[in-house]
Structure 1
Amino acid sequence: MAKRVTKRRLETNERLLDAAEKAFAQHGFHGVSIGELCARAGYTTGAFYSNYASKDELFLALFTRHSEAVLKQLGEAVEQALASGDPLATFIELASVVDEETQTWFLISTEFTLYAIRNPEVAEVLARHDAAIRSGIAELITPLLATASPSGVVAADLDMLLRFVVAVREGGLAQSLVEPTVLPHGELERRFLPALLRTL
């Protein structure tokens, strides 16, 4: 029988997610116990297990929350870009902004990705979540890509293109966090992606 979603349960869940996000960013996914997460949120472990079966499940809930926020931001960026004189360049400029939340999520997700690589079952679940957000992004940017290529991009190519963009985004972010004075945040995306997308 499904658990009834009450206002109190929603508040508990949000506090657990907030506590997990901060703890994972500071100490790593494996560096904090469920008990410590609960203490940070002001709950007992019973509250945790009434919402999640494991830390893995908690991370995936964080992933979903983050994905929803990203899709909202990208949707707003697409609207602004389509109203500009150079939609692709404008969108990439808006989408390549790196704030504190972006950096926090990068730390959390990178560590969980390494954990997933070592655990095939976790990798399979993470891959499904990754595919879902790529699908959402593909839907958002299709009108944008049409401004550069009226014939459009077929779905299979678009998924591979998004994989490439994610690789550039995450690889560039890793380098810029290590060498912020040498490689400013978003520089690789701003410099190369507009020309690449127009070529494709």
Structure 2
Amino acid sequence: MTEAPVGTSSPRSRENTRARLMAAASEVFAESGLDGASVEAISERAGFTRGAFYSNFATKEELFAGMMQRVSEQKLERVSSRIRELEDEGAAQASPADIVMRVLDLEGEDRAGIVLMSEIRTNAMRDRRLASAYLEWQEAMVERVTGIIADLATRYGLRLRLPAADAARLLIQNWDSAAVHAVIADLDADATLRLVAERTALLASAIADGPID
């Protein structure tokens, strides 16, 4: 068992410690839920002591907030990468559904990440401190996705049937709902991917018209 030095560790070392703690927490949360995941269990899984945990996170709620940010950043980076690939391929006449399917066709949904976010949402309904962190994270996600939608609409000549921010909220909710259903139905990674992509593409067709002539 190791402990990160307090006040002497480099920024990179501290970031690595935080990353290991969050990775361990994801595993423990998926197995035991948020309430059942103790600081001791998370620290032990990461190979650290409680002291190392508390030198990086003041509370479990702070760790949850960091993990929400981590999951969303990973997801958005994968989407952004697919958008860049789509731009390189050229898709000027693609329909909204085609664009979504091509953006998501290599997108992976991690079961542990889906379970984690569901656990956090459930606990946010009972804990006002966690609720505040969750709502702040959710608004940041909507803002990021709104920018992606607006950029795609401009680039490919799509005509949105509602404001980009409203479209972003619907797409995020739809994406989350499909992912949760896949976990409950015990779908494998490929089936989860297909379900999320198909449902998201269907909604995209409902909220946007194809390229403007």
Structure-1 separation of matches of 2:36 and 2:105 = 30
Indicate the residue corresponding to 2:138 in structure 1: 130
Whole-angstrom distance in 1 between the partners of 2:174 and 2:72: 18
Asked if 1 retains the 8 angstrom alpha-carbon contact of 2:161 and 2:209, the reply is no
Aligned partner of 2:119 in structure 1 is: 111
Q: Report the secondary structure of 1:141's partner residue.
A: helix
Where 1:52 maps in the other structure, the secondary structure is coil
1:195 deviates by 3.9
User: Post-superposition shift, 1:97?
Assistant: 5.7
* Distance in 1 between residues matched to 2:141 and 2:124, nearest whole Å: 17
Match of 1:76 among 65, 78, 81: 81
Distance 2:10 2:161 in 1: 41
Q: Could you tell me the TM-score, scaled by structure 1's length? A: 0.83
Name the amino acid aligned to 2:108.
D
Count of equivalent residues: 193
Matched residue of 2:140: which SS? Answer: helix
| Equivalent of 1:194 in 173, 192, 205 | 205
| 1:185 correspondence with 2:195 | yes
* Structure 2: stretches of 5+ with no match in the other structure: 1-6
**Distance verdict in 2 for CA 1:158–1:100, change over 3 Å:** closer
Query: What is the CA-CA distance between 1:160 and the residue it aligns to?
Result: 1.8
- Larger relative CO (CA 8 A, sep 6+): 1 or 2? 2
1:174 matched to 2:180: yes
- Residues 127 and 34 of structure 1, relative CA distance in 2, 3 Å threshold: same
Compute the TM-score of the two structures, normalised by the length of structure 2. 0.78
* Residue range with higher mean Cα deviation, 51-60 or 22-31: 22-31
| Residues 1:54 and 2:62 are matched in the alignment | no
Aligned alpha-carbon RMSD (Å) = 2.7
Per-residue CA shift, 1:12-34, capped at 9, x if unaligned? 11111110111112221112100
SS of the residue 1:86 aligns to: coil
Q: Contact conserved, 1:88 with 1:144, CA < 8 A, in 2?
A: no
Alignment of 1:30-45 (within 5 A): 30-45=35-50
Structure 1 residue corresponding to 2:33, chosen from 15, 28, 35: 28
Identity of aligned residues (%): 22
Q: 1:131 offset after TM fit, Å?
A: 0.8
